[in-house]
Amino acid sequence: MPTMPAVVSAAGAAAPCSNVVEDLVGFLRVLSDGTILRSPGPVFCPSTFPGEHPSVEWKEAVYDKPKNLHVRMYKPSPASGGVGAGGGGKLPVLVYFHGGGFCLGSCTWANVHSFCLRLAADAGAVVLSAGYRLAPEHRLPAAVDDAAGFLHWLRERAVDGDGWWLAEAADFGRVFVTGDSAGGTIAHHLAVRAGSAAAAAPDDPVAIRGYVLLMPFFGGVSRTPSEAGCPAEVFLNLDLFDRFWRLSLPPGATRDHPMANPFGPDSPAMDGVELPPVLVVAGGLDMLRDRAVDYAERLSAMGKPVELAEFAGEHHGFFTLGPGSDAAGELIAAVARFVDVAAPPPK
């Protein structure tokens, strides 16, 4: 049985005497002896990103102790006048999975945290930002398996939620699975798993009413025009995304692997998959724009309930790179409208 590679924090640790064989812009380096060096966080998470919001309460919990997987939970506070405790009806729930090419990221990163604060406040929703295991230490489908495990944890909390922090605010009959970039890919795979399985039990305590794929991180062996035309000098370029796939897919797999390409030769057929409404967000300046648009168009051609929202002048992940921007606010408004239409609050 192969041994797990050693993982060393890049901060304050001397690198072993080995060559670097993969380098994700200094955030993650893989050495020839299998050692993995990780930086404690990205340089694009300045302390100026808000860590609190005047109308949102939040706390962190462990949802999978053996794997040390955490979730950050956000809810509009009663003082804000929102629904939930002291505000009338309960709030829809947005389960959120962060991006990072399956290799980077955390629900604790400042930019992710700041976006989730604003998402909870502006969308008027409970937000559950769940972590998952990262590659290359844990290659796909580990991240999707962890996400499925989180939904199982959520169902348990919905049933035995005596004293649970969210019990008075969360409407588990209106749950939406969301994610950005790699998190959007996770949302796709959860949708396929759920839609390919037997019909949900009528007494399921968690009703998933829709999926939101924010600039999903899809791949394929054949290049799309938006990929082929991506300038090499931009930060999120084709070479970097190829590195993410090399490090996250099973060893030897190509980008047509089902985990990367939803319409690859070995991917499950989507025609017979039962789907609730799906919102796909694309960025006009995103290298992955063509794949997101193609995904939405294919689902639409199959008769699936899908909506495409394109932000013409925006790059990949603009809403987490600038969670306080006007464009991020417009995206959150689009998500809130989608939620209200797909699952209106009970009267």
pLDDT tens string 6-37: 445 444 444 555 799 999 888 899 999 999 99
Predicted confidence at residue 347, as pLDDT, reads 77
pLDDT tens string 110-120: 999 999 999 99
Work out the pLDDT band at 86, boundaries 50, 70, 90: very low
- Yes or no: say if 279 and 211 are a contact pair by the CB < 8 Å rule: yes
Predicted confidence at residue 298, as pLDDT, reads 98
Alpha-helix runs per DSSP H in the chain:
110-123, 142-159, 182-196, 225-228, 238-248, 289-301, 318-321, 326-342
Predicted confidence at residue 233, as pLDDT, reads 78
Does residue 264 lie in a domain region? yes
Give the pairing type, strands 126-130 and 91-97: parallel
- Specify the number of domains making up the chain: 1
Lowest-pLDDT choice from 162-166, 190-194, 306-310: 162-166
Does residue 321 lie in a domain region? yes
Does residue 218 lie in a domain region? yes
Distance CA 175, CA 319 (A): 21
**Average pLDDT score over the chain:** 89
Candidate list 53, 113, 257, 316, residue with the active-site label = 316
Candidate list 146, 171, 286, 290, residue with the active-site label = 286
3 pLDDT above the threshold of 50:
no
SS (H, E, C) 144-201: HHHHHHHHHHHHHHHHCCCCCCCCCCEEEEEEEEEEECHHHHHHHHHHHHHHHCCCCC
Q: Distances from the Cα of 210 to the Cαs of 143, 314, 317, in angstroms?
A: 20, 24, 21
Give the pairing type, strands 28-31 and 56-64: unpaired
pLDDT tens string 231-241: 877 778 899 99
Does residue 41 lie in a domain region? no
CATH code for the domain in which residue 299 is found: 3.40.50.1820
Does residue 263 lie in a domain region? yes
212 pLDDT above the threshold of 70:
yes
Higher-pLDDT residue of 231, 69: 69
Q: Residues 124-148: what's their mean pLDDT?
A: 98
Q: Is 213 left (phi over 0), alpha (psi -120 to 50) or beta?
A: beta
181 is known as an active-site residue: yes
Candidate list 77, 80, 129, 181, residue with the active-site label = 181
Does residue 43 lie in a domain region? no
188 pLDDT above the threshold of 60:
yes
Does residue 23 lie in a domain region? no
Give the structural domain span for 131: 58-342
Does residue 195 lie in a domain region? yes
- The alpha carbon of 133 is separated from its chain's Cα centroid by a whole number of angstroms, namely 13
Using DSSP, state whether 301 is helix, strand or coil: helix
138 is known as an active-site residue: no
286 is known as an active-site residue: yes
Q: Residues 191-215: what's their mean pLDDT?
A: 85
Q: Taking the model in full, what pTM does it have? A: 0.92
Tokens linked to 6: 């050693």
